[in-house]
Structure 1
Amino acid sequence: MAQGVDLEAIHPAVEAGFNDQDLDGLMRLYAPDARMILLDGSTATGSDAIREQWSGLLEMGGHLAIRSRYAIEAGDLAILSNEWTLRTGDQTTSAVTAEVAARQSEGGWLYVIDHPWAGLEPDELAALSAAMAPAEV
C-alpha cells in the first residue's frame, strides 16, 4: 500500500515526476481508487486509468512548472490547488487545479481527486482539447 508524502511535498513531487519522466513516481502520489478529471470533463478512475493519462502526458515531453497556491488540511482530508505551466516546443499551456488528498494510515498524503483543468472556462477547455487532439491523417 502506498504511504504517501508530506502534504507540502505533493506539488514539488508532481513537478519532479513529470520533468524526470518518472511515471512510477507520479503514480505513488495517488490512492488506488483516486479519480482524475480529464480535459473533456470525463473521469479516469483508479491507478490503471490515471497511469494511462500520465503516460500520454509524459510522451508529450516538455517542461512542467508548478506554483503551489494552497494546501489546507482538515483532519484526514486536504484541499490543494496549484497553478501549472507546461511548455512543449513552442506551445505553452497553463491552468489552475483543484485537488483533494487523504491522509494515509502511515501519515503521508495521497491524491484522491485531481482536477488539473479546474480553473479553465468551458470555451478554454474546448479550444485546448481541439489543440491537443491528434491530427487526422
Structure 2
Amino acid sequence: MAVVMRVEDMAGAFAEAFSAGNIEALVSLYEEQAVLAPQPGARVVGKAAIREAFARMTARRPRMSMTAVMIMERDGLALVRHDWVMTGTDAEGKPMERRGTSAEVLRRQPDGRWLYVLDHPSGVDKS
C-alpha cells in the first residue's frame, strides 16, 4: 500500500499507483468516508465506491503524471492543487490525452500519514 508521510509526496504516490493500475494502493490514499468526484457532476463517498470508480478509470491502463502547483498546510489539514496529464487509448483504441488541475483536501492521520478527505480531479464544476 502507498504511504504518504509528506503532503508533497502525494502526487508521486498517486500517479505511480494509478499508472500501475494498483487500485488497492490508490484506495489506501483515502480516508474511510472520503469523497471523490470521478467526473464533473458526480460524487462517490467511501472506499468501496472509490474503489469502483478507480476500477473504471484504470480499466484501459492509462498512464498519469502529476505535479503539485499549490500546497497550503495548517494544523493537520492541507489544500492541494495538482496539474495532471493522463495518456492512453480511448474505447476505440485511439490515442487520448487528458489534462486538468485538481482541488484536494488532505488530513494528517494520527500515525502521521496524509490521506485524501476530498478529491476533485477536475478542480471545479457547477454541481
Scaled by the length of structure 1, the TM-score of the pair is 0.80
Q: Which runs of 5+ in 2 are unaligned?
A: 90-94
Match of 2:118 among 108, 113, 116: 113
For the aligned residue pairs, the C-alpha RMSD in angstroms reads 1.8
- Is the contact between residue 107 and residue 116 of structure 2 (CA under 8 Å) also seen in structure 1? yes
- Tell me how many residue pairs correspond in the alignment: 120
Q: Partner of 1:60 in structure 2?
A: 60
Match of 2:99 among 91, 94, 101: 94
Q: What pairs up with 1:1-137 in 2 under 5 angstroms?
A: 5-89=5-89, 90-118=95-123
- Identity value in percent: 26
Q: Greater shift after overlay, 10-19 or 57-66?
A: 57-66
CA shift, 1:50, in A, is 0.5
Say which SS state the counterpart of residue 59 (structure 2) adopts: helix
Q: Greater shift after overlay, 35-44 or 45-54?
A: 35-44
- Is the contact between residue 3 and residue 104 of structure 1 (CA under 8 Å) also seen in structure 2? no
Return the letter of the residue paired with 2:44.
A
Do the aligned partners of residues 93 and 38 (structure 1) sit closer, same or farther apart at CA in structure 2, a change above 3 Å counting? Answer: same
CA shift, 1:60, in A, is 2.1
Distance (whole Å) between structure 2 residues aligned to residue 60 and residue 74 of structure 1: 37
Return the letter of the residue paired with 1:44.
V
The 4+ residue runs of structure 1 with deviation greater than 3 A are 2-5
Distance (whole Å) between structure 2 residues aligned to residue 3 and residue 26 of structure 1: 10
Q: Which runs of 5+ in 1 are unaligned?
A: 123-137
Distance (whole Å) between structure 1 residues aligned to residue 105 and residue 69 of structure 2: 13
- Is the contact between residue 66 and residue 83 of structure 1 (CA under 8 Å) also seen in structure 2? yes
